[in-house]
Amino acid sequence: NAGVTQTPKFQVLKTGQSMTLQCAQDMNHNSMYWYRQDPGMGLRLIYYSASEGTTDKGEVPNGYNVSRLNKREFSLRLESAAPSQTSVYFCASSEASGGASTQHFGDGTRLSIL
Amino acid sequence: GENVEQHPSTLSVQEGDSAVIKCTYSDSASNYFPWYKQELGKRPQLIIDIRSNVGEKKDQRIAVTLNKTAKHFSLHITETQPEDSAVYFCAAREKSPNKLIFGTGTLLAVQP
């Protein structure tokens, strides 16, 4: 049982390049999330998908797009990378229920944009 | 929307002492408050959580208290050990489907 798997683990890009961060979960969770983590800023929500077929903006969506490919996979795309997008990106998933449920995180992708 | 403030940003204690981290939230409709621990270079992991119908919850050396009237909640770690050294994040769940808003984190250093 791998939980939440993110690829790649590290990536260096040049300004203006594009790339897609991949995330997959094997816990049959309905909801998935993308966060970025910057020093002193905590975890900030970029986009989330409450269920398959739906996506919504979080706190910091500008410069990003997402795709909920199926129930297992939720990808994050940077169309034209900027140095301000240098960060650690975490994907998470949780069961969707009437009550609160735990979010499980992947190991993160460390992205540097030169 | 929800806003979560967390204090202190850094905390240094001697091994065996207690540590307390405090968070405040703005949305009185928030009803779920988890705490995550993140060791250096690792993923955040849930260590304890509390729902709005409960005032206190304990799990061995860690406890969380919630004051709904004042809209604040706290993490208490007793008998701290060096392996407790990490960044701790509080969060509050907005009323929208299971969306968490995180505090900015507290770096806890336990000195042996």
Residue A24 pLDDT exceeds 60: yes
pLDDT of A98: 41
CB-closest option in B43, B46, B93 to A107: B43
pLDDT of A96: 66
Nearest chain A Cα distance for residue B100, angstroms = 8
Beta bridge partners of B59: B62
Q: Average pLDDT in the A55-84 region?
A: 95
Could you count the other beta carbons within 10 Å of the beta carbon of residue B2? 17
Residue A82 pLDDT exceeds 60: yes
Does the CB of A108 have a partner CB in chain B at under 8 Å?
yes
Residue B98 pLDDT exceeds 70: no
Asked whether A94 and A103 are in contact (CB, 8 A), the reply is: yes
Q: With bands split at pLDDT 50, 70 and 90, how would you rate the model's confidence at B10?
A: very high
pLDDT of A50: 87
Separation between Cα atoms, residue A6 and residue A92, nearest integer Å: 10
Beta bridge partners of B106: B88
Q: Average pLDDT in the B78-88 region?
A: 97
Separation between Cα atoms, residue B52 and residue A32, nearest integer Å: 24
